[in-house]
Amino acid sequence: MVGLLGKSGSGKTRLITEALGWGGNCAIREEGSRLDLPLPRSLLSGVLQDPSSQVLGGNCQEEIRLLAADHAVDEAMAKKLMGEYYSRDFFELSDGYKRRYSLVTVMASKPKYILLDEPLANLDSQGVREILSLLPRGSLIAEHRVREVRGILDRAYLIANNNIEEVGRDKLYDDEFLRSHGLRGFKLERQKESVVGNEVLLDLDVGFRLTLKEGEVVGLYGRNASGKTTIIRKLSRKSYAVFQEPDLQFFRRTVSEEVGNDDALALFGLSEKAESSPFALSFGEKMRVLMAAAFSSGKRVLAFDEPTTGMDGDALLSFLDALDLLRDQKRGVVMATHDEDLLSVCDRVIFLQ
């Protein structure tokens, strides 16, 4: 079990896609012998960041039957991990169950080696435990959430400054090392106390009464398919909302035009990407563009659906700084999240069943 670590944009996704045979100059050797690319799915397969990019069947059941035509598949594992959503249409699934879908359909076909790009994104804590317990030996895991994966890794590699080097497993428990390399897993601490005002910015019926006061950050926390995204959709009529599929939320040619504020670009570490197309960025960088655009929008109520998906350690700290500034400006934030790191920085957390 090998970890592949690095900041957003460092090249983790590129390495994985090239290894899967999608362009580039990647070479793969097994027991010293070079293999011709692309490799058969029974030998090497991958799980990518966008679950919808790997869908062939209309639902998981259909997908497994398609795979069974060419591979021995473990349908029992697929049924167990998908539960009642095994035969549900893919596009009706929550983002967490879409992630399970992409993981299940790859693992069920039992490839010898699996390359996984941010496999834990959007999964609740139970889903994280279930997936990690079933990942086979021979897995390469690119993941920002170091805390969740470090216990199962045999080795880890860090990509930084166009170099890749092996790092000791002890470093994955070192807060200073994680912070200095822009990795997640270090302990978060609130920089200052928040002051929640009396003015109510939002009072909405979303199946329960959801209120939000000026300067307040409210977290929505619950299992996959508990309704968090549905609530954010309802809030979108009353707020500036950011969802989990960044490519569907870009409307301008450059990052600078999308964000529209130099201070916001700097706050989210995007100044060097100002003239880049937002579509050309890594997933984590795309999420930072959306966060920066929300920050610079001037809207008094912001609603975020899994805002830290794909964020590295540097971006997470920038996001927390932005929350403090939003509080100072007496704006309010509602966040749907599975990221337990974020719960400690919320003024209130609503637990959904």
Predicted confidence (pLDDT) at residue 22 exceeds the cutoff of 80: no
What pTM did the predictor assign?
Answer: 0.87
- Cα(338)–Cα(96) distance, integer angstroms: 9
Q: Determine the angle formed by the axes of helices 283-296 and 313-328, rounding to 10 degrees.
A: 10
Q: Is omega for the bond preceding 119 within 30 degrees of 0, making it cis?
A: no
Confirm whether 2-180 and 200-352 share one CATH topology. yes
pLDDT over threshold 90, residue 28: no
> For 293-336, how does the pLDDT look when each residue is reduced to its tens digit (9 = 90+)?
999 999 999 999 999 888 899 989 999 999 999 999 999 999 99
How many Cβ atoms are within 10 Å of 227's Cβ, its own excluded? Answer: 17
Domain 2-180 belongs in CATH node 3.40.50.300 = yes
**Cα 32 from chain centre:** 35
3-state DSSP assignment of residue 12: helix
Contacts of 189 (CB under 8 A, 6+ apart): 344
Helix, strand, coil shares of the chain, percent, nearest 5, are 40, 20, 40
Neighbours of 191 (CB within 10 A): 11
Task: Please give the Cα distance from 240 to 257 (Å, whole number).
Answer: 17
Do 142 and 13 meet the contact criterion of CB atoms below 8 Å apart?
A: yes
**Nearest Cα to Cα of residue 194 among 351, 352, 344:** 344
Residues in the chain: 353
Residue 321 CA to residue 340 CA, distance in Å, equals: 18
Give the tens place of pLDDT for each residue, 175-207.
999 999 999 999 887 767 788 999 999 999 999
The confidence score (pLDDT) of residue 245 equals 87
Average pLDDT over residues 70-81: 92
Task: Answer whether 204's CB lies under 8 Å from 234's CB.
Answer: yes
Q: Give me the pLDDT at residue 11, please.
A: 92
Lowest mean pLDDT segment, chosen from 24-38, 89-103, 209-223, 237-251: 24-38
Mean of per-residue pLDDT scores for the chain = 93
Tally of helices (H runs) and strands (E runs) in the chain? 13, 15
pLDDT digits (tens, 9 = 90+) for 222-279: 999 899 999 999 999 999 999 988 999 999 999 999 999 999 999 999 999 999 999 9
Beta bridge partners of 348: 218
How far apart are the C-alpha atoms of 51 and 223, rounded to whole Å? 19
Q: Would you kindly state where each structural domain of the chain is located, as residue ranges?
A: 2-180, 200-352
- The percentage of the chain sitting over the pLDDT mark of 70, rounded to a whole number, equals 99
Query: How does residue 20 score in pLDDT terms, banded at 50, 70 and 90?
Result: confident
| DSSP state letters, 197-263 | -S-EEEEEESSSEEEEETT-EEEEEE-TTSSHHHHHHHHTTSSEEE-S-GGGG--SSSHHHHH--HH
Report the phi/psi class of residue 35: left, alpha or beta, with left for phi > 0 and alpha for psi in -120 to 50. beta
The whole-angstrom separation of Cα 189 and Cα 155 is 29
Q: How confident is the model at residue 21 (pLDDT cuts 50, 70, 90)?
A: confident
Percent of the chain residues past pLDDT 90, beyond the cut: 78
Q: Identify the CATH homologous superfamily for domain 200-352.
A: P-loop containing nucleotide triphosphate hydrolases (3.40.50.300)
State yes or no: pLDDT of 148 exceeds 90: yes
Task: Say what the pLDDT of residue 283 is.
Answer: 86
Task: Look at the alpha carbons of 11, 15, 20, 21 in this order and tell me if their dihedral is positive or negative.
Answer: positive
pLDDT of residue 168: 96
What's the pLDDT band for 26 if we cut at 50, 70, 90?
confident
Asked if the model's pLDDT at residue 81 lies above 90, the reply is yes
First to last CA, the chain: 34
